[in-house]
Amino acid sequence: MEGGAYGAGKAGGAFDPQTFIRQPHTVLRMVSWVFSIVVFGCIVNEGYINRSDEQEEHCIFNRNRSACTYGVTVGVLTFLSSLLYLAIDVHFPQISSVKDRKKTVISDIAVSVLWAFFWFVGFCFLANQWQVSNPDDNPLNEGADAARAAITFSFFSIFTWAFLAVLRLQHLKEITFQEEYNRLFPPNPQPFP
């Protein structure tokens, strides 16, 4: 894109879906969105089981309800967070102030780092609880593939969110450079008398 701060085009420019979809941070955000759906979908759909002699269902991860709750909560919240930042990315070209763009990108970096951390904790927690699960609690191995999928996509989510934070940090550097450049060399210098 031409000429705007942060490579987002000039403020007030028209939204171009093809350009939007091709941006690496947009692709990563959509991938993160899909991964979150996989994690919470697997846990909600097949993450609770019961033995034939029990009525109450228990979490497949070592019968630890906290493990399932954590996985679902982080999955749903990152799903919503991804949607929110996708909407912000769509609206981003309409932000005319370099300072507002900078604040938006800083919040995106903070959220991305936070989610990378939460996914790391989730991966460790789910993997540990899966490892210590008693095979007698699930003799037919029901939901095992869903549990492994939730663990695997939790692991992948760490890297998508961390890489998203790195990309946004690079964009923050571009904004800071643009801001400093505009301060040193104003766009409309005063003519000599």
The 10s digit of each residue's pLDDT in 76-101 is 999 999 999 999 988 888 887 778 88
d(CA 146, CA 37): 12
Whether residue 115 is predicted with pLDDT greater than 80 in this model: the reply is yes
Range of the domain at 63: 18-183
**Residue 3 within any structural domain of the chain:** no
**Residue 74 within any structural domain of the chain:** yes
In degrees and rounded to multiples of 5, residue 59 shows phi and psi of -65, 140
Of the candidates 105, 109, 91, which has an alpha carbon nearest to the alpha carbon of residue 11?
91
Number of folded domains in the chain? 1
Looking at residue 180, its pLDDT comes to 64
**Residue 7 within any structural domain of the chain:** no
**Residue 95 within any structural domain of the chain:** yes
Give the mean pLDDT of the chain. Answer: 85
Looking at per-residue pLDDT, the higher value among 100 and 54 belongs to 100
**Residue 5 within any structural domain of the chain:** no
**Residue 193 within any structural domain of the chain:** no
Q: Where are the alpha helices (DSSP H) in the chain?
A: 17-22, 24-46, 65-91, 98-131, 144-184
* Percent of the residues in the chain that have a pLDDT greater than 70, as a whole number: 83
Whether residue 50 is predicted with pLDDT greater than 90 in this model: the reply is no
**Residue 86 within any structural domain of the chain:** yes
The 10s digit of each residue's pLDDT in 170-181 is 888 877 766 666
Residues 149/38, Cβ–Cβ less than 8 Å: yes
